Structure 1
Amino acid sequence: SETSSNDCSIWDSSSDLSPKKNGSGLGIFLKSSAMKTDAKNSFSFPCNGLIFLTLSRYLLYDVNPPEGFNLRRDVYIRVASLIKTLLKSEAWVLVLPPWGRLYHWQSPDIHQVRIPWSEFFDLPSLNKNIPVIEYEQFLAESGGPFIDQVYVLQSYAEGWKEGTWEEKIDERPCIDHLMYSKDKHEYYRGWFWGYEETRGLNVSCLSVQGSASIIAPVLLKNTSARSVMLDRAENLLHDHYGGRDYWNTRRSMVFAKHLRVVGDEFRRKYLHSTDEADRTDYNEDWTQMKVKLGTAVGGPYLGVHLRRKDFIWGHREDVPSLHGAVKKIRSLMEKHKLKRVFIATDAIVEETEELKKLLPEMVRFEPTWEELELYKDGGIAIIDQWICAHARYFTGTSVSTFSFRIHEEREILGFDPKTTYNRFCGEKERNCEQPTHWKIVY
């Protein structure tokens, strides 16, 4: 149960959760609050009685290639929930899928593939929620670039009848053309996050309809594979969207320190914004951070996420024109008595030039080529989000996952929801519904 005080899924923050190498070079699991050492080679799970220590199993995953950085962060939360379910029965480690080849990362001449999670997130923080390792560590531990079992997740070919939703999972023939092909040794080649030497030993398709933990029985009972990859993991739904479990995982996704430092320095230098003045003190240990909503004040600037590019034609009704956006920004600055506006946008050069003319007080984080090469497009997105998250008032773009992630960050920092859950309206939009407030749960 999510509210159980004896929660098996929350890891002891003092324990080192990375699998350690024993003599054979294979990973073994160290203790957490979910596993108490009873004897030299056994662990007890408070939820399940005594379990003998075995070598940990590895869960890997990937997402449909067109999906962007911010939706992928949401998929991580779903998979983390599955790991917590698995940990009630066996020792599992989540292998973090290297970043790369994302549609929105269009900066030319910059190598953006095989990027480890530590470039963007703080790994010790992730490890306080569930055990995770980078893909390179998995390669070193598992004895080679092989994944024992790949499951491609898909929907049901027959769809589902209106009003008869049920959670189910079945091994089925693959519906789409398989993105894996056999080599001369009968191993499967595929994208595998840009690691050309990686091979899958078995590939099969699972039709799935339901939340992430529905796949747990398959992993625990139907396969003995030590390493299992779930491809197209976005087909799994959240176990408890917006619940305590969800927020624990979301809070653990602390941005890498070097990116936060860059964002904080930019705030100080160009926006007269510091944590002390803004009442946005940050605890490096997320498990110790619990801020009452309405405590944070934010810096003396308006934070804006203005999504353009494919949103202009993809969401035409609820996305404003450039002039419409500027008009709204002006009225918000006036209302909240703010002299500066920080804008995070994917607008093309011509549009940003137009914005500068219409809004001379606009401030943007514009990286040099060296900074772009160092932080990459994902790092720049995080810096933008971090600065928006510290604004006195924020307004975003309708149904944008970039804006959603800023909402969550502001919720963690303790802002009044009225200053967070806001969006632009399209000029022709009749009913401009504002974003839902998903209250943080501790």
Structure 2
Amino acid sequence: MRKWIPLIEFEDFLEAKGNKLDAVYTLQHYAEGWGGKWEEKLDERPCTEDNPFVFLEDGLWHGRLWGMDIIAKNVTCISIQGQASTLLPLFTKSTIRTVFIGRAETILHDEFGGKWFWSARRSMRFANHLREEADEFRKKYLDSDDVRDKTEVYEDWRDRKPSRGTALGGPYISVHLRRQDFIYARQDEVPTLKRAAKQIAKLLKLYELEKVYIATDAPLEETKELQQELKSFRVFHYIPSQDVFNQWGDGGVAIIDQIICSHARYFIGSYESTFSFRIQEEREILGFPVDTTFNRLCGKKSKCEQPAKWKIVY
């Protein structure tokens, strides 16, 4: 990413500058919602979630972020509705020098899907240890590696030229099956396990494959039920060892899931899932065909609208 924009790792910044910040802004949505009218705005509001900082007798805020002790002169929760540029008044009308922005996913991109967006996205690489873990799983269980799959990555992301359709992918289908809260929040769009299995089986037969990799937040009993529904095929999913989980946590395991899904011959995701979006982006970077990337499982309807095709821009 340093080839795209000047940056420093957070822990390196704290080591160089100390752990005292001028301001911490935690972003949040407006508690009352949009109110039926879209407008760009931000306001200082009471925190809608637990604040990790406490105000002590020394007149400073003390808290921990990612296991690191942080001291701040001011801590503020900001309700915001808008894009990244909506934040500018927080910086341009102040003398603060060091700022931490928490929950930045609350805001929208100013140029989603454009050249600047894709340059930033292309500059982002998965951590080596997570990629190595995913690659080992692919090789061991899915007969997949970058050479045969035509998914080799350039050392310098800037050297990659437009390469639509050059990636083949491993001899398996990957599926992101969102469950848990999606079952209730998007019940018309999330398939039952039987319906999901039927769609997966159809794709496996179409592509003449026998292996499917499942990334899901489903509980163990549902995963077993899905495997039973697909008993005519070989079903795989990543289960980390306790040591791996303790070291990398849920976030690391999620990245491993994304890497494995990104390298499949064909990917099918879940309706309006950010996790699926990230896999589709990675497949765009790797050069997969559009029709093997932008797909999603249908819910109650046998045919459903497929996701928007946010194609890569160089």
- Tell me: CA distance 1:188–1:320, structure 2 relative to 1, closer, same or farther (3 Å): same
Residue number among 172, 182, 189 corresponding to 2:62 in the alignment: 189
Indicate if the aligned counterparts of 1:291 and 1:413 stay in contact, CA closer than 8 A. no
What secondary structure, in the 3-state scheme, does the structure 1 residue paired with 2:188 have? helix
Query: Unaligned regions of 5+ residues in structure 2, if any?
Result: none
Q: Does 1:150 align with 2:21?
A: no
| Distance (whole Å) between structure 2 residues aligned to residue 217 and residue 241 of structure 1 | 21
Residue number among 114, 118, 133 corresponding to 2:8 in the alignment: 133
Residue number among 310, 313, 320 corresponding to 2:184 in the alignment: 313
Greater RCO, 1 or 2 (C-alpha within 8 Å, sep 6+) = 2
C-alpha deviation, 1:166, in angstroms: 4.4
C-alpha deviation, 1:203, in angstroms: 3.1
Which residue in 2 is equivalent to 1:249? 120
Percent identity of paired positions between Structure 1 and Structure 2: 49
Amino acid at match of 2:255: I
Residue number among 378, 395, 415 corresponding to 2:268 in the alignment: 395
Q: Does 1:236 align with 2:107?
A: yes
- Tell me: CA distance 1:159–1:397, structure 2 relative to 1, closer, same or farther (3 Å): closer
Indicate if the aligned counterparts of 1:421 and 1:435 stay in contact, CA closer than 8 A. yes
Aligned length: 310
Which residue in 1 is equivalent to 2:308? 436
Query: Unaligned regions of 5+ residues in structure 1, if any?
Result: 1-125
Q: Deviations over 1:141-200 (max 9, x none)?
A: 113x2111223445668876756x44445xx452446834421111123453443x4221
Amino acid at match of 2:85: S
Indicate if the aligned counterparts of 1:154 and 1:175 stay in contact, CA closer than 8 A. no
Amino acid at match of 2:188: E
Q: Comparing 410-419 with 292-301, which one deviates more in the overlay? A: 292-301
Indicate if the aligned counterparts of 1:340 and 1:362 stay in contact, CA closer than 8 A. yes
For residues 347-386 of structure 1, the aligned pairs below 5 Å read 347-360=218-231, 361-386=234-259
Indicate if the aligned counterparts of 2:262 and 2:283 stay in contact, CA closer than 8 A. yes
Q: Does 1:262 align with 2:133?
A: yes
| Distance (whole Å) between structure 2 residues aligned to residue 157 and residue 320 of structure 1 | 31
The normalised TM-score by structure 2 is 0.89
Indicate if the aligned counterparts of 1:149 and 1:202 stay in contact, CA closer than 8 A. yes
Amino acid at match of 1:338: L
The normalised TM-score by structure 1 is 0.65
What secondary structure, in the 3-state scheme, does the structure 2 residue paired with 1:132 have? coil
| Distance (whole Å) between structure 1 residues aligned to residue 73 and residue 189 of structure 2 | 46
C-alpha deviation, 1:285, in angstroms: 1.5
Amino acid at match of 2:23: Q
| Distance (whole Å) between structure 2 residues aligned to residue 166 and residue 182 of structure 1 | 33
Indicate if the aligned counterparts of 1:318 and 1:398 stay in contact, CA closer than 8 A. yes
| Distance (whole Å) between structure 1 residues aligned to residue 35 and residue 275 of structure 2 | 32
Which residue in 2 is equivalent to 1:216? 88
For residues 17-28 of structure 1, the aligned pairs below 5 Å read none
What secondary structure, in the 3-state scheme, does the structure 1 residue paired with 2:8 have? strand
Q: Deviations over 1:309-330 (max 9, x none)?
A: 2222222111111111111111
Indicate if the aligned counterparts of 2:23 and 2:98 stay in contact, CA closer than 8 A. yes
Indicate if the aligned counterparts of 2:270 and 2:297 stay in contact, CA closer than 8 A. yes
- Tell me: CA distance 1:167–1:371, structure 2 relative to 1, closer, same or farther (3 Å): closer
For residues 36-55 of structure 1, the aligned pairs below 5 Å read none
- Tell me: CA distance 1:268–1:131, structure 2 relative to 1, closer, same or farther (3 Å): same
Amino acid at match of 2:148: A
C-alpha deviation, 1:305, in angstroms: 0.9
- Tell me: CA distance 1:371–1:203, structure 2 relative to 1, closer, same or farther (3 Å): closer
Q: Deviations over 1:32-72 (max 9, x none)?
A: xxxxxxxxxxxxxxxxxxxxxxxxxxxxxxxxxxxxxxxxx
Q: Is the radius of gyration larger for structure 1 or structure 2?
A: 1
Amino acid at match of 2:20: F
Q: Deviations over 1:100-145 (max 9, x none)?
A: xxxxxxxxxxxxxxxxxxxxxxxxxx222222222222221113x2
- Tell me: CA distance 1:320–1:130, structure 2 relative to 1, closer, same or farther (3 Å): same
